[in-house]
Amino acid sequence: MNRRLEERRAYYARYKQTTKTRGKPFFPYAMFHDTVMSLLVVCVIVALAVIWKYSTPHEDPSSSGWLGKLYDEKADPGTTNFVPRPDWYFYFLFYLLRIFKWPDSVLLGTVGVPTIALLLLIALPFIDIGSERRPLRRPVAMTAAVLTIITMGVLTYKGATAKEPLAAENLVLVPQWGQKQGFAGNPTAMDGGKIFAQVGCMNCHTYEGAGTSNLGAPDLTSIGKTSNRGVAGFADYVSNPSKFGNNVMPQFQDLGADNLRKLGTFLQSSGNCNPKSSNCPAAGGQ
């Protein structure tokens, strides 16, 4: 017979025995503590709701109080100038996706790491099988717990403070891009750059050092050279990325064919133009 199993069973039998002889009834002793704690929980929830409501300025209900807005603007599938923000307890997952880059390792961030973490959590009682319960005598378990808490805390903090640039901030960069890349003389590419700056591309993509790398989206500074799809090819890709196996990027077909063509010209010009000679193979297209 397994000695460990016998020890465990003996422990449980002793536990039941001691509790029966030396324990105290749940009511009223333990229930008193539970009731006080539950009342505290309800009070905290009500207090949060009250602060949320009354810290919002009365004259402008759409502005933000201490705990955020009462309501955001109505969802509009047509606009793509959005800031994808989950609730705070998903920030750690949200930030995980900035660590793993599309497309090589993004699967690790979306599925791999969370699944492994969840399996480890479920398997904990089968990994830590010793009968010792005192924290100071479980150094491995306690170290793992502290590291987990620190990791989750840092990821949540980073996710909370990760800033997406505003459209207006990006817009002023477009003329610089034109100079640097050499498509300043091409109004179609410049218009495409303005669209790029405004419709939310830079919430996930970086370009010439601006924007935010998010959800594993690649840097697009020289995308025209590295992924030479042509103006129509880029327009097609952006309008429905899932057709090309990219299920993370949203569809942008609502921008309309004209805007998509401008955007495509901008992307094709990126990295393909020569700033000195203003020679731009994509610029003449269509």
Partner 1 sequence: MAKTKPSRADQLLYLLTYPLNWIEERTSAPGRSGIIGGIKYFLFRKVPSDISWGHTLGSAALTAFIVQAVTGVILAMYYKPDPNSAYESIRHITDDLWAGWLVRGMHRWGASVFIILLFLHMGRVFLYGAYKYPRELNWIIGVLILVLGMMEGFFGYLLPWDQTAYWATVVGVNLQATGPFVGPFLGDILRGGAELGPDSLARFYSLHMLVIPGALAALIGLHLWLVVRIGVSSPPWSPIEAGRPEPGPPPAKRKGLVAPAPRGARKR
Smallest gap, in angstroms, from Cβ of residue 143 to partner 1?
12
What residues numbered 90-109 form the site for partner 1, per CB under 8 A? Answer: 90, 97, 106-107
Q: State both tokens at 228.
A: 């030479």
For partner 1, the binding residue among 3, 126, 139, 276 (CB under 8 A) is 126
Cβ contacts of 76 within 8 Å, gap of 6 or more:
none
Site string for partner 1, 224-263 (x = CB under 8 A): ------------------x----xxxxx------------
Site string for partner 1, 147-186 (x = CB under 8 A): --x-------------------------------------
CB atoms within 10 A of CB 80: 17
CB of 224: closest distance to partner 1 in angstroms?
25
Are 207 and 216 spatial neighbours (Cβ–Cβ below 8 Å)?
no
Nearer to partner 1, 49 or 257 (CB): 49
Using CB under 8 A as the binding rule, the residues of this chain from 17 to 76 that contact partner 1 are 18-20, 22-27, 29-31, 33-34, 36-38, 40-42, 44-46, 48-50, 52-53, 61, 67, 70-76
Of positions 12, 179, 225, 281, contacts partner 1 by CB under 8 A: 12
Cβ at position 223, least distance to partner 1 in Å: 20
Among 10-18, 153-161, 166-174, 177-185, the segment contacting partner 1 (CB under 8 A): 10-18
Candidates 16-24, 182-190, 260-268, 275-283 — which segment interacts with partner 1 by CB under 8 A? Answer: 16-24
Helix runs in 76-138, H state only: 91-99, 106-107, 113-127
Least distance to partner 1, CB of residue 73, Å:
5
117, 123, 129, 134: CA torsion to nearest 10:
50
Residue 64: strand, helix, or coil? strand
* Least spacing, CB of residue 192 vs partner 1, in Å: 22
257-269 helix and 230-239 helix, angle to the nearest 10 degrees: 120
Q: Report DSSP state, residue 166.
A: P
Diameter of the chain measured on Cα atoms: 93
Q: Collect all residues with Cβ–Cβ distance below 8 Å to 214 and sequence separation of at least 6.
A: 97, 98, 162, 164, 203, 204
Q: CA 189: distance to chain centroid?
A: 30
Q: Is 132 in the site for partner 1 (CB under 8 A)?
A: yes
